[in-house]
Structure 1
Amino acid sequence: MPAQIRPLTPELQKNANELLHEVPERIESDLEAFKTWISQQPHLTPRTDDQFLIAFLRGCKYSLERAKSKLDQYYTLRTKYPEIFNVTDVDGGKFREIHKTGTIIYLPTPLHDNGPRIGLWRMGLSPADKYAILEVMQVAQAMQEIALIEDDYANVNGIVFIMDMKGATVGHLLQMTPALAKKMTVFSEEALPLRPKAQHFVNTISGFEPIFNMFKPMMSKKIQARLFVHGDKMDLLTKQVPLKYLPKEYGGENGSADEIVAEWEKKFDQYRDYFKDNANYKTVESLRPGKPIDFDGLFGIEGSFRKLNVD
Structure 2
Amino acid sequence: MAPQIRPISAELQAVAKERLNEDPDRIEADLQALKIWIEQQPHLNPRTDDQFLVAFLRGCKYSLEKTKSKLDKYYTLRTKYPELFCVTDVDDPILREIQQLGPIVYLPNTFNGARVGIFRLGVAPAEKYKITDVMHVGQVMQEIALMEDDEAIINGIVFIMDMNGATASHLFQMTPGLAKKMTVFNEEALPMRPKAQHFVNTIAGFETIFNMVKPMMSKKQQERLFIHSKIDSLLEHVPLKYLPKEYGGENGSIQESIVEWQKKFDQYRDYFKENTKFGTDEKLRPGNPIDFDSLYGTEGSFRKLNVD
TM-score by length of 1: 0.98
Aligned partner of 1:288 in structure 2 is 285
1:45 deviates by 0.3
| 1:253 is aligned to 2:250 | yes
Write the letter of the residue equivalent to 1:183: K
Is 1:105 matched up with 2:105? yes
Q: Where does residue 57 of structure 2 map in the other structure? A: 57
Q: Deviations over 1:100-159 (max 9, x none)?
A: 0011000011113xx111110000100000100111010000000000110000110111
Residue of structure 2 in register with 1:188 after alignment:
186
Offset at residue 93 of structure 1 (A): 3.4
TM-score (norm 2): 0.99
| Unpaired runs of at least 5, structure 1 | none
User: What is the CA distance between 1:307 and its match in structure 2?
Assistant: 1.4
1:301 Cα deviation after fit: 1.0
Moved more, 193-202 or 234-243: 234-243
Distance 1:195 1:301 in 2: 28
Q: Deviations over 1:38-62 (max 9, x none)?
A: 0000000000000000000000000
Q: What one-letter code is carried by the residue in structure 1 that aligns with 2:276?
A: A
Aligned to 1:128: 126
SS of structure 1 residue aligned to 2:204: coil
State the shift of 1:303 in Å. 3.2
Partner of 2:141: 143
Classify the secondary structure of the residue corresponding to 2:25.
Answer: helix
- Whether the aligned pair in 2 keeps the contact of 1:3 and 1:27 (CA below 8 Å) is yes
Aligned counterpart, 1:79: 79
Rounded to whole Å, the distance in 2 between the matches of 1:240 and 1:11 is 23
Aligned match of 2:175 in 157, 161, 177?
A: 177
Matches of 1:281 and 1:119, distance apart in 2: 28
Give the Cα–Cα distance (whole angstroms) in 2 for the partners of residues 155 and 283 of structure 1: 24
User: Aligned partner of 2:205: which letter?
Assistant: G
The 2-side partners of 1:25 and 1:44 are apart by 28
Aligned to 1:299: 296
Q: Which letter maps to 2:59?
A: G
Aligned equivalents of 2:300 and 2:155: distance in 1?
34
Helix, strand or coil: the match of 1:235? helix
The amino acid across from 1:140 in the alignment is G
Distance 1:201 1:125 in 2: 16
SS at match of 1:28: helix
Please identify runs of 4+ aligned residues in structure 1 that moved more than 2 A: none
Q: Pairwise CA RMSD of aligned residues?
A: 0.7
CA distance in 1, matches of 2:302, 2:15: 34
1:270 aligns to 2:267 (yes or no): yes
* Amino acid corresponding to residue 12 of structure 1 in structure 2: L
Structure 2 counterpart of 1:257, which letter?
I
Quote the residue 1:210 is aligned against: 208
> Shift in Å at residue 299 of structure 1?
0.7
Give, as a single letter, the amino acid of the residue that structure 1 aligns with 2:186: S
Counterpart for residue 166 of structure 1? 164
Residue 56 of structure 1 aligns with an amino acid whose one-letter code is F
Instruction: Quote how far apart the aligned CAs of 1:199 are.
Output: 0.4
Residue 227 of structure 1: aligned partner = 225
Q: Distance in 1 between matches of 2:30 and 2:40?
A: 16
- Distance in 2 (CA, whole Å) between partners of 1:163 and 1:86 is 23
8 Å contact 1:59–1:193 — kept in the other structure?
yes
Q: Does the 8 Å CA contact 1:296/1:303 hold for their aligned counterparts?
A: no
**For this pair of structures, how many residues does the alignment match?**
308
2: CA distance, partners of 1:20 / 1:303: 37
* Residues 142-198 of structure 1: per-residue CA shift (max 9 Å, x gap): 000000110000110111110000000000000000000000000011100001110
1:197 equivalent among 186, 195, 198: 195
Unmatched segments (≥5 aa) in structure 2: none
Q: Give the fraction of aligned pairs with identical amino acids, expressed as a percent.
A: 70
Amino acid at match of 1:75: Y
